[in-house]
């Protein structure tokens, strides 16, 4: 078991190094940060000096090795765009994204599972088929359109919810939370709904497919023959057997949402990591981009490793691999 | 009876006095980069920080220079300027303002690693004469020092020292600066809180030295990057002011009760530049070096169509590379060449440049309606016998192509910020490229005759003579079509109709100390 974990760890280090290498190759094509930082009055000489100080004249391997050496010590430098410590900057944005993604996931489970069950057991009824059709719309609508529509209806026409921002936040240590204030909770609703819409349809379709499968199985028929109530069969016996893939998929998607809630965050001016990243890209803020990509890949690597270890614990056959 | 009368009088007085608390909820298109005014010298960030910090001098409502932290000044010699400082000014932390603060600030801004040092190009040193008098020495005679000083905000020397911020924040050194997160200025507003990309709150400075014309006691500044969300926030009343409203939503916004739209043209002049190296990027001979080809280019553009269709009638067609408000401008030069595609074809044939393929480099996130503009220009050029190819992408991607001379034809805008003088564009864009000039001379041209005029203007202390030199240089730019101006682009502010007084100057900077909100 120990050998297995060590081997996985070594693999992960190589994955991280490869991600950093790819990131650096991309930065070479992204543009020239000095041109973004200098203003109209900066002279050619000052621009050259700035480029030299930032180490942008060094060869790609030199820059890469320097970055890896610094990153290994947890030093990602300061942002080109706003002069803030990069790790601190990402730490500041993480709670906003995390809360958004968690609430969105919760909404998608709470709404998606019952809808999936409903469309499965009422198959053929007009409203179940209608829901199926609506769910296609949910999957195919781009998330910025959903976001703008929600803002238009709930902020502009009805005036119920704020159109942007995170409301008031409460600081608990380094973590900032919007869940403890009324304005923070209100501000969370629209972006979370907008982010969860796609997930809801995904979960609903997954649950429906699994349910249809399970409802055909022998033990359901047997339970029915014993005269157990329908509600008990559906929700206690059948649904439970459908949830494994749902849980796996949800867990995988949480990581993806944290990394790429970019569009929702931009539409709602949600001060999370996605917005930080997209702004870093438009400004060629190399320290932020590099740190962000490394931290995200680290997150995925750890998640994957945990899953692998869990599988290995469950299934002894995998340990040899 | 007397008592009642007194009460009535007090009531009446309180109705007349402009003492009501009002909040400006400002939705901007992007956040300020830093609270440190000596960071990148981005015009928008500097304009915002001007609420908190002030310079020795400032622009008034007519963009003329007026005293701020300095009350008067004179030149001691050709290269030494003496400034008399305002007495009784206090920083937000209560410290007195005096000569040491000016010295410390100038030292910080002119530091070799200061990103803003280009904004004070002729600076050499400064000395304290007494507590309220400072001499600034320059590297040579230089007429535009006051213009430069409008954007050099003054810090408190002791505060800088106490917080270990006497040197500017250097991104290369990888250490955060105290001034990136904290402020201590003398301006009309004080910082209450800031969460980057979410909200920055300023409150009124009750001890401001100047008489405020504003009743705003709180500014909530929120960046809203997505234009559609920004418009929604205006419609729902969550913000009551924006200095950047998308032009396609203006009819909808002006129809909304409770909102009003204020439009005008900006100082920013959009123009076209040409590669002037011997070869084009594709390796062909560069025919743009032939004046007839550039003339053909100019005659191919239908300015009326651009103004009415692409810019929706909101832009101001330009024949000169600076706006009318900029010193050095001359109305005689401000007529574009006529629209005459047949003449273009003839000129191209004469120059042997018919069907010369070239690339036009445009951006997507720098100027108003630039995508439609570039597409329109490419169509017009094709009709007039050119063979253009459009290369359009965000600034970040296009910048290396332009500075590396890989753009055969390109679009650029110039507002002459922060000096507001034609000298700005002449030295930075027209003059031959060198260590200290021609950074934006992307085409790589060199006109020694024009260079002589620019150098002469840079040391000419007589304003009339200097402006005459600049105008002459601009005339030569026009004759040679070094840059081909298109228009001054429009700007649009949208606000609650409760805002009854606001200063919207063509430099597109918000000056909330001149804003008044009724009720």
pLDDT in tens, B317-339: 999 999 999 999 999 999 999 99
Q: A-contacting residues of B 19-38, CB under 8 Å?
A: 33-34, 36
Write the pLDDT tens digit of every residue in A94-107.
899 999 999 999 99
Write the pLDDT tens digit of every residue in B202-217.
999 999 999 888 999 9
Asked if the Cβ–Cβ distance from B198 to A35 is below 8 Å, we say no
- Of B175 and B86, which is predicted with more confidence? B86
What does the pLDDT read at residue A317? 67
Residue B79 tokens, joined: 């290269």
Asked if the Cβ–Cβ distance from B233 to A164 is below 8 Å, we say yes
Q: Which contiguous run of DSSP H or E holds residue B271?
A: strand B259-274
- Residue from the list B198, B417, B438 with its beta carbon closest to the beta carbon of A40: B417
Residue B84 Cα distances to A319, B131, B134, B145, B414, angstroms: 81, 9, 7, 15, 33
Cα A38–Cα A41–Cα A46 angle in degrees, nearest 5: 60
- Integer Cα distance of B105 and B111 in angstroms: 10
Taking residues B153-161, what's their average pLDDT?
A: 95
Mutate to test the interface with A, among B232, B239, B421, B422 (most CBs of A within 10 A): B232
Using the Cβ of A140 and the Cβ atoms of chain B, whether some distance falls under 8 Å is answered with no
A196 contacts A203 by C-beta, under 8 angstroms: no
- Of B278 and A232, which is predicted with more confidence? B278
Cβ count near B472 (within 10 Å): 17
CA-based nearest residue to B68, from B83, B81, B49, B48: B83
Asked if the Cβ–Cβ distance from A42 to B121 is below 8 Å, we say no
Residue of A nearest to B44 (CA): A39
Residue A186 tokens, joined: 């209100």
Show Cβ contacts of residue A175 under 8 Å, excluding neighbours closer than 6 positions: A95
Asked if the Cβ–Cβ distance from B40 to A159 is below 8 Å, we say no
Least confident span in B132-136, B293-297, B412-416, B515-519: B515-519
Residue B398 Cα distances to A289, B272, B410, angstroms: 19, 15, 10
Least confident span in A247-256, B50-59, B269-278, B475-484: A247-256
Place of tokens 């009824």: A125
Asked if the Cβ–Cβ distance from A39 to B43 is below 8 Å, we say yes
ipTM of predicted assembly, 2 dp: 0.82
- Integer Cα distance of A41 and A163 in angstroms: 38
The distance of A189 to chain B (nearest Cα, Å) reads 16
- Integer Cα distance of A76 and A86 in angstroms: 6
What does the pLDDT read at residue A315? 65
Residue B298 tokens, joined: 């100019």
Residue of A nearest to B234 (CA): A156
Write the pLDDT tens digit of every residue in A88-135.
888 888 899 999 999 999 999 999 888 988 888 888 888 888 888 888
Asked if the Cβ–Cβ distance from A38 to B40 is below 8 Å, we say yes
- Integer Cα distance of B360 and B411 in angstroms: 8
User: Rounded mean pLDDT of chain B?
Assistant: 90
What does the pLDDT read at residue A318? 62
Q: What band does A250 get if pLDDT is binned at 50, 70 and 90?
A: confident
- Integer Cα distance of A115 and B108 in angstroms: 63
What does the pLDDT read at residue A169? 86
- For residue B413, the chain A residues in CB contact (below 8 A) are none
How many CB pairs below 8 Å do chains A and B form together?
177
Write the pLDDT tens digit of every residue in B223-261.
999 999 999 999 999 999 999 998 889 999 999 999 999
- For residue B117, the chain A residues in CB contact (below 8 A) are 46
What does the pLDDT read at residue B8? 44
Q: For residue A50, give the 3-state DSSP assignment.
A: helix
B83 contacts B56 by C-beta, under 8 angstroms: yes
CA-based nearest residue to B38, from B125, B128, B111, B100: B111
The residue length of chain A stands at 321
Residue of A nearest to B197 (CA): A271
Q: What band does B18 get if pLDDT is binned at 50, 70 and 90?
A: very low
Residue of A nearest to B148 (CA): A41
A117 contacts A207 by C-beta, under 8 angstroms: yes
Using the Cβ of B400 and the Cβ atoms of chain A, whether some distance falls under 8 Å is answered with yes
Using the Cβ of B169 and the Cβ atoms of chain A, whether some distance falls under 8 Å is answered with yes
The distance of B41 to chain A (nearest Cα, Å) reads 6
Using the Cβ of B118 and the Cβ atoms of chain A, whether some distance falls under 8 Å is answered with yes
B303 contacts B311 by C-beta, under 8 angstroms: no
What percent of chain B lies above the pLDDT cut of 90? 75
Residue A184 tokens, joined: 């923070």
């Amino acid at each position: 078991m120990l050998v297995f974990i060590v081997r996985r760890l070594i693999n992960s280090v190589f994955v991280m190094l490869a991600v950093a290498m790819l990131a650096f190759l991309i930065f070479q094509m992204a543009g020239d940060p000095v041109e973004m930082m200098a203003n109209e009055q900066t002279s050619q000489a000052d621009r050259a000096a700035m480029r030299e100080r930032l180490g942008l004249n060094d060869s790609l391997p030199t820059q890469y090795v320097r970055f890896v050496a610094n990153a290994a010590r947890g030093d990602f430098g300061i942002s080109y765009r706003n002069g803030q410590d990069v790790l601190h900057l990402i730490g500041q944005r993480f709670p906003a994204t995390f809360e958004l993604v968690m609430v969105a996931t919760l909404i998608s489970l709470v709404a998606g599972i019952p809808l999936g069950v409903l469309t499965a057991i009422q198959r053929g009824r007009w409203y179940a088929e209608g829901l199926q059709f609506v769910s296609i719309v949910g999957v195919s609508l781009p998330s910025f359109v959903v976001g703008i529509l929600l803002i238009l209806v709930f902020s502009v026409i009805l005036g119920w919810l704020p159109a942007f921002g995170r409301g008031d936040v409460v600081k608990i240590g380094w973590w900032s939370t919007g869940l403890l204030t009324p304005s923070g909770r209100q501000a969370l609703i629209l972006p979370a709904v907008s982010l969860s819409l796609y997930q809801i349809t995904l979960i609903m379709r997954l649950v429906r497919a699994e349910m249809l499968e399970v409802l055909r199985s022998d033990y359901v028929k047997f339970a029915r023959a014993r005269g157990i109530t329908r509600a008990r069969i559906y929700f206690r016996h059948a649904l439970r057997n459908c949830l494994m893939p749902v849980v796996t998929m949800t867990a995988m998607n949480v990581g993806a949402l944290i990394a790429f809630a970019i569009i929702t965050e931009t539409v709602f001016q949600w001060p999370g990591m996605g917005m930080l990243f997209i702004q870093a890209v438009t400004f060629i803020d190399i320290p932020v981009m590099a740190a962000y990509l490394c931290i995200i890949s680290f997150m995925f690597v750890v998640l994957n490793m945990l899953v692998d270890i869990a599988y290995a614990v469950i299934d002894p056959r995998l340990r040899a691999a | 009876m007397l008592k009642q009368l007194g009460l009535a009088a007090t009531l009446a007085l309180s109705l007349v006095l402009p003492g009501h608390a009002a909040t400006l909820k400002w939705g901007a298109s992007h956040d300020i980069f830093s609270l440190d005014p000596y960071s990148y010298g981005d015009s928008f960030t500097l304009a915002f920080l001007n609420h908190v910090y002030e310079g020795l001098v400032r622009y008034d409502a007519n963009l003329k220079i007026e005293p701020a932290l300095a009350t008067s000044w004179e030149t001691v010699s050709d290269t030494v300027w003496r400034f008399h400082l305002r007495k009784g000014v206090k920083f937000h932390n209560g410290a007195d303002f005096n000569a040491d603060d000016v010295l410390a600030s100038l030292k910080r801004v002119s530091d070799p690693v200061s990103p803003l040092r280009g904004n004070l190009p002729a600076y050499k040193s400064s000395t304290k004469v007494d507590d309220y008098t400072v001499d600034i020495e320059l590297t040579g005679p230089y007429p535009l020092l006051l213009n430069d000083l409008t954007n050099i905000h003054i810090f408190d020397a002791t505060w800088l020292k106490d917080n270990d911020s006497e040197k500017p924040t250097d991104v290369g050194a990888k250490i955060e600066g105290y001034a990136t997160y904290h402020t201590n200025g003398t301006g009309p507003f004080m910082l209450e809180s800031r969460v980057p990309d979410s909200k920055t709150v300023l409150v009124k400075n009750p001890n401001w030295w100047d008489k405020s014309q504003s009743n705003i006691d709180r500014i909530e500044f929120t960046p809203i990057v997505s234009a559609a969300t920004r418009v929604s926030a205006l419609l729902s009343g969550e913000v009551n002011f924006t200095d950047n409203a998308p032009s396609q939503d203006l009819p909808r916004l002006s129809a909304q009760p409770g909102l009003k739209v204020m439009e005008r043209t900006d100082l920013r002049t959009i123009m076209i530049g040409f590669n002037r190296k011997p070869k084009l990027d594709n390796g062909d001979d560069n025919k743009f070096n032939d004046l007839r080809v550039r003339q053909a280019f100019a005659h191919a553009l239908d300015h009326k169509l651009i103004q009415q269709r692409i810019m929706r009638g909101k832009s101001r067609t330009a024949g000169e590379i600076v706006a009318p408000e900029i010193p050095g401008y001359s109305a005689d030069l401000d007529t574009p060449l006529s629209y005459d595609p047949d003449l273009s074809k003839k000129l191209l044939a004469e120059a042997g440049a018919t069907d010369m393929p070239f690339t036009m480099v445009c951006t997507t996130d720098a100027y108003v309606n630039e995508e439609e503009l570039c597409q329109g220009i490419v169509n017009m050029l094709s009709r007039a016998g050119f063979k253009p190819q459009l290369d359009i992408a965000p600034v970040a991607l296009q910048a290396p192509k332009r500075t590396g001379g890989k753009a055969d034809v390109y679009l650029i805008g110039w507002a002459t910020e922060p000096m507001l003088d034609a000298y700005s564009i002449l030295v930075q864009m027209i003059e031959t490229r060198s260590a200290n000039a021609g950074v934006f001379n992307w085409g790589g041209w060199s006109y020694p005759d024009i260079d002589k005029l620019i150098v002469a203007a840079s040391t000419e202390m007589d304003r009339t003579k200097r402006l005459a030199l600049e105008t002459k240089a601009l005339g030569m730019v026009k004759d040679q079509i070094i840059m081909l101006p298109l228009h001054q682009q429009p700007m649009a502010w949208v606000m609650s109709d409760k805002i009854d007084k606001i200063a919207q100057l063509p430099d597109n900077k918000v000056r909330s100390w001149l804003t008044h909100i009724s009720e």
